[in-house]
Amino acid sequence: MATKKKQVARELLFGDLWEFDPAPETAPAGIADRYGLFIGGEFVAPKSKKWFDSISPRDEAKLSEIALAGQADVDAAYAAAAKAFPAWSKLPRAERGKYLYRLARLLQDRAREFAVAETLDGGKPIREARDFDVPMAAAHFFYHAGWADKLEYAAPGRDLRALGVVGQVIPWNFPLLMLAWKLAPALALGNTVVLKPAETTSITALKFAELIRVAGLPPGVVNIVTGAGETGAAVVRHKTAAKIAFTGSTGVGKWIQRELAGTGKRLTLELGGKGANIVFEDAAIDQAVEGIINGIFFNQGHVCCAGSRLLVQESIEAVVLRKLKLRMKSLRTGDPLDKNTDIGAINSKQQWERITELVDVGASEGAEIHQPACELPKKGFYFPPTLLSGVTQSHRVVKEEIFGPVLSILTFRTPDEAVEKANNTAYGLSAGVWTDKGSKYLAVASQIKAGVVWGNSFNKFDPTSPFGGFKESGFGREGGRQGLLEYGELD
Ligand code: NAD
């Protein structure tokens, strides 16, 4: 897609980029022409009789036709989940664990196919889908399979019971991984589920439904309804739901919280972020530069915990900026199916427009824009890696979540100023601290109001480690023992 013709001051970073031969991933994605709703263990046509197209952000080609679930379909999904709940929740725990192990292994067996499907559907580089999304999704099922028959150790001396039917709504940035974060703990504890994937990325969830059938999960334990916001709202409001788990934007999260107030339903919200990545002058600079690049350009910056606000100690600003620009020149933006690609396609036209608009706003507010001079594919939604300097705390690009490959750079002089600036945000999901001194890391990290604070690293994930936010980034945790407890009632 061509960049808007708005006049903004841009510095194009030219450099000697080695030319790589194309290295396309050619494995088949196994995507069906049409997907019904997955209810009661079967793919069924929607009662709404409505369907929508799923297109690939890579080249705007149609991938499949997806059912649009209406209220009657959501009712049917909840009815199936409620019917399945008594037997599933009473199943011996080790038996439930076996199903989870089976799902993890089936996903591993078809890892390559799932990675290609995820890349085509969402636009992320195949390298990331292959090496991160799919293995991490399997790891979450393995981890929770291990918990299923050891629940007495999750809450020693207490009895941990399933809640009932759980409604789950997930976003488009890590479609399969977010499904795994939600399904695995819910099922390990004996809950049954109605899950709604994001409308631009339903395909791997529906392919996962195929694995659920192969694994022989009892019908109705997992139900998948597809559609957009209205379908999500029907899932959230449904009277059968004992708990709602939502990952998505802060705006929708606030609406859900208002909607659920007084209903007695349990709620966890994993929302947006504007993570600070703090680099002190005593840090290993080259290592920090790699961490900054990974922190913002991983998954095109469609990462809730992205390090989108870079805070650099003033004394090293010039050297960090120089090294960052140099490193950005070597990033390859383009066909996500190419194994050499670092930055793939923006997930949707709508998201591309939002990123473009916010970068233009930054420019009109006086930001300097640095972008590598790269040729972007003519079809599909692509945005080059972008660095904004000359910005302050009051710039919109510094305050708002852009959810794209756009980094703002700010400076600080003292650790106290770094902490104050890092916390000067409505969000509280993530941060990074780069320093040679362990004591400085601990002192700074303990003052930052964020669910995760990485030390000399960024974007590190593990199923054993709880993840979640403070302030407008939401509440509740996913992963680890804490995430498991969110799906149970303690007696
Ligand atoms: P979104 O809120 O627009 O959509 C998320 C999901 O909610 C989608 O499935 C969507 O169809 C559904 N939805 C939309 N309106 C709804 C409504 N009224 N009721 C119920 N469901 C509704 O967010 P998005 O643009 O898909 O995702 C990006 C956002 O997700 C970013 O803000 C990002 O930071 C956040 N995110 C957070 C985490 C985390 O763990 N904190 C992880 C990933 C993404």
Q: Report how far residue 404's alpha carbon sits from residue 307's, in angstroms, rounded to the nearest whole number.
A: 11
The answer on pLDDT for 362 being more than 80 is yes
The answer on pLDDT for 76 being more than 90 is yes
Cα(229) to centroid(ligand 1), Å: 9
Q: Which residues of 349-376 are buried (b: 16+ CB within 10 A; e: fewer)?
A: eebbebbbebbbbbbebebbbbbbebeb
Q: Report how far residue 355's alpha carbon sits from residue 397's, in angstroms, rounded to the nearest whole number.
A: 10
Please give the mean pLDDT across all residues of the chain: 96
Q: Report how far residue 244's alpha carbon sits from residue 246's, in angstroms, rounded to the nearest whole number.
A: 6
Cα(327) to centroid(ligand 1), Å: 31
With the most atoms of ligand 1 within 8 angstroms of its CB, the residue from 132, 179, 252 to mutate is: 252
Please check whether residue 218 is in contact with residue 206, taking contact to mean a CB–CB distance below 8 angstroms.
Answer: no
Q: Supply 355's token pair.
A: 């990123």
Cα(207) to centroid(ligand 1), Å: 21
Q: Report how far residue 470's alpha carbon sits from residue 126's, in angstroms, rounded to the nearest whole number.
A: 32
With the most atoms of ligand 1 within 8 angstroms of its CB, the residue from 271, 355, 461, 470 to mutate is: 271
Stated as kind and residue range, the H or E segment containing 206 is helix 203-215
The answer on pLDDT for 385 being more than 90 is yes
Give the neighbor-by-neighbor strand order of the sheet with 276-279: 10-13, 368-372, 386-389, 406-412, 309-313, 276-279, 430-434, 452-455
- Given this model, what pLDDT does residue 374 score? 86
Cα(253) to centroid(ligand 1), Å: 8
Q: Report how far residue 145's alpha carbon sits from residue 484's, in angstroms, rounded to the nearest whole number.
A: 11
- Given this model, what pLDDT does residue 340 score? 95
Catalytic annotation on 304? yes
The answer on pLDDT for 2 being more than 50 is no
Report residue 384's pLDDT band, with 50, 70 and 90 as the boundaries. Answer: very high
The answer on pLDDT for 214 being more than 70 is yes
Kindly report the three-state secondary structure assignment for every residue of 131-200. HHHHHHHHHHHHHHHHHHCCHHHHCCCCCEEECCEEEEECCCCCHHHHHHHHHHHHHHCCCEEEEECCCC
Residue nearest to atom 21 of ligand 1 (CA): 232
- Given this model, what pLDDT does residue 7 score? 45
Comparison of pLDDT for 209 and 21, the residue scoring more: 209
Residue nearest to atom 4 of ligand 1 (CA): 248
The answer on pLDDT for 145 being more than 70 is yes
Q: Report how far residue 250's alpha carbon sits from residue 228's, in angstroms, rounded to the nearest whole number.
A: 16
- Whether 128 lines ligand 1, by a CB cut-off of 6 Å, is no
DSSP 110: T
pLDDT single digits (tens) 306-358: 999 999 999 999 999 999 999 999 999 999 999 999 999 999 999 999 999 99
Cα(125) to centroid(ligand 1), Å: 21
Domains delineated in the chain: 34-271+473-490 (3.40.605.10), 276-462 (3.40.309.10)
The catalytically annotated residue of 25, 118, 199, 270 is 270
Q: Report how far residue 490's alpha carbon sits from residue 18's, in angstroms, rounded to the nearest whole number.
A: 58
- Write down the H helix ranges in 264-369: 285-297, 317-329, 349-364
- Given this model, what pLDDT does residue 20 score? 82
- Given this model, what pLDDT does residue 5 score? 45
Catalytic annotation on 270? yes
Tokens 């970073």 found at: 13
DSSP 79: H
Q: Report how far residue 312's alpha carbon sits from residue 108's, in angstroms, rounded to the nearest whole number.
A: 41
- Whether 229 lines ligand 1, by a CB cut-off of 6 Å, is yes
- Mean pLDDT for the stretch of residues 251-272: 97
The answer on pLDDT for 69 being more than 60 is yes
- Mean pLDDT for the stretch of residues 35-44: 98
- Mean pLDDT for the stretch of residues 148-163: 94
The answer on pLDDT for 4 being more than 60 is no
pLDDT single digits (tens) 408-434: 999 999 999 999 999 999 999 999 999
Report residue 8's pLDDT band, with 50, 70 and 90 as the boundaries. Answer: low
| pTM more than 0.85 | yes
Give the atom of ligand 1 at the shortest distance from the alpha carbon of 228. 11
- Mean pLDDT for the stretch of residues 376-390: 97
- Mean pLDDT for the stretch of residues 141-153: 97
The answer on pLDDT for 189 being more than 50 is yes
pLDDT single digits (tens) 445-490: 999 999 999 999 999 999 999 999 999 999 999 999 999 999 999 9
Please check whether residue 305 is in contact with residue 430, taking contact to mean a CB–CB distance below 8 angstroms.
Answer: yes
3-state secondary structure of 24: strand
